[in-house]
A and B are shown apart, each in its own frame.
Chain A
Amino acid sequence: MRRVALVGNPNCGKSTLFNRLTGLNQKTSNLPGTTVDSHEGKVKISNEWFELVDLPGIYSLFTNSEYEHVVVSNLIGKGTPKPDAIIYVLDSSNLRRNLLLLSQVAELKIPAVCILTMEDSAQRRDIKIDTDELKSILGISIISFNPRITKDIKPVEGLFSQFSVGKPLSENADMNEKLSRFLEGKPNRGISTETLRRYNDIDKVVKKVVIRENKKREGNTLKIDKWVTHPVIGFFIFFSIMLAIFQGVFSLADYPMTWIEHSFSWLRSQTSKIVTNEYVVDFVNSGLLSGLEGVIVFLPQIFILFFLIGILEDSGYMVRASFLSDQLMRKLGLNGRSIIPLIGGFACAIPAIMATRTIKNRSERLATMLVVPLMSCSARIPVYILLTSLIVPAGVLWGPIPAQTLIMTLAYFAGIIMAILFAIFFKMLGKGKEQSEFVLELPTYQAPRIQTVINGAWLRCKSFLNEAGKIIVIISMALWVLSSFGPDKAMEEARNKARIIAQKNPESIEQIEQSYLLEASYAGHLGKMIEPAIKPLGYDWKTGIALISSFAAREVFVGTMSTLFQTGAEDENVIGIRKKMQSEINPETGKPAYGIGYAISLMLFYAFALQCISTMAVLKKETQTWKWSIILFFLYGAIAYLSAFSAFQFFGNP
């Protein structure tokens, strides 16, 4: 099977073309040691299968970033098979800059053809290209094709039988050797002068093939950009779009997530019909199905976030969002593109961390990933609601604002402030490794192609399932084992104890038994074991168990507390647990066990601590190492512990 690589600048329509050719028949792959995707797919053209590789869009082979390394490695066949042929994709509205990359790659003497895209936006600016002349200069087949608009893809398919080695635009010393040196990180002398010489040669070509009658004519893009960057209207558009993204991930994803939950409840009801063995049912329902549900439930959020990001990227707005927020984000050591992951983080850290892929600067991308978990995600809301209700009753007003709302908002701000501090801290750590720069093309606005966007979002979901999904299932199963099994003797005693107590009110035997079994389980033992460590924070062993179990997902805290307080499934709401928690007296001090100090301390703990295995799994997937998950676990854990400790010492001992 012949391997064909698509080579071109960013925003030239290359990926749209790739999606048109391969459809869903594609996968993403990472060159070992890099986090940059290249997409591969198979396409059958007149009875021959081709392996198509969509290389990341770059401007020149010699810029020192991961993107160029991936392209160069592919082109000279280092770590991947060398391509048998190349399809150059060139933006006709901007031929001069697009020809630089072609002139470099052409010196590798790989058979090639060329596609000129974006004819429409070139026409709008009165730019015409003499394709025949360009063909005779480059010595390869050229067609004009707009992958966004043109329906008939036959002309592109026809190119697959016309690959040929063209004529180089410039004469330069051995390209292969220079690229090998580049990959090894050795400096190539005189690349700057070489670039100037190339442009010199390109300008001669451009003079012959680009026909432009009216140089002044601008497209609509400039008009739109004047609005988009307007001090008032621009920010209004910006915040509206950010709000829409937040709402999309936060509210819209709620519907499919509810369907997923319902489907799993239905599946659980079916297992007990098929299998009679109580332990098998428990294993399948609470272990296996819960683990799977814990993975699948993220898919709607991931899909929606990447769908929306895809639209912003494909239309060209994303670059403008960077343009607007660059100055602010730069001060924090982040990137203009960090804004989307950070906002997504308020809904869920999992898709948000994945969304940092759009940040090209490596250290800025890492810093963004590392602070995203400090944004209070939606899984923290049930915990915050329960805890605020322990601080003040509903309906109390502080000034004009309901006290509970104010306390919740403060918890969010605590996370944001911590994120800002850590962003600055990570920036100082990463200083000097990679220079921060903007230098960003503001491409012509385009109507986004929905098919491309959907494909992209679906590929993200697939890679989440494959890479992070397994880890999440395994760890949730482990958590299930911890909370459903315990030392035999303890479990037996728990059952007997439950039976004796339940004699008084037999209708709630199941709740009572569950509560005692959880206490006797390994998780219960762990909860008691860590009690000395969490006592200074104001927590008892029950909170300890809930802390451990909420590693599966933070909101599990509420469920675990409700099991321990025997509130029963139908009553598993905040009010029921709150009442029971409030009436609990600490036997040592004689004061309420879950007072204001407890609630503030625990809220801060939840705001800062990285207690979410899914986040850790995704962080591992995106950074290709467990290092950062572990560092963050201990770093944010220490911050959470210290702030919870201070809060309890301050508020807990009135």
Chain B
Amino acid sequence: MSQASAEGETPLSPAAALAVLNNQQRIVSGRLGSNVWIITGAWGVAWLLGFLVIWVMDSHFSGFALPTWLGWTIFGALFAAAIVVSAVLGIRSGRGIRSNSANSFTGTVYGVTWAVAMLSISVFGAGLLSHGMTTGLADLFYPSAYTLLVGILYLAAAAIWRIVQMIVAGAFLVLLAVVAPFLGHPTNYLVFGIAGGAMFLTLAIVGAVRLRSAVARG
């Protein structure tokens, strides 16, 4: 192209132009989403270790007793760490990116929905407890109720932002939430830990491998 030549650039053949285009889009998507696998991995670790700790605590293995307060503190710390990792890396990858008001509205409503969902489960559960829900039932109710809502929120995210991976994760969590109560307590915690943890860690590994191959090609 004469215009390109006038600027001192080598004219691009269509093949070279398509390669430049694809390469650039791969680099940008890779850099903007480069943290996603770490965030997913942090959730995988929290689910795997967090639920396993509760399972060990409630299984009362002979010769090994984990105090309840310690078990739930470890669980809480692992999930709090995953929230911090998500927030910090999410903010970092969105650095310099601005949304219009329609997109911001969607993001804000979705974020607030998470808070409403999590809070409503704890109030709902408190209501049930105040009317005689046993701690045995609470051990089935809480993890399944939270997991069910997380799964549904993932599916909503998949619909809003068209992320196929989140359909897989959301559907898997919904399935896990509804199957777990049938397994009884404390086996449900073991299943949440192993199956939930494995799901997040698998997605994290797939994400990391994809990112690596994109960078290698770029």
Q: Are A and B part of the same complex? A: no
Which B residues are closer than 8 A to A by beta carbons?
none
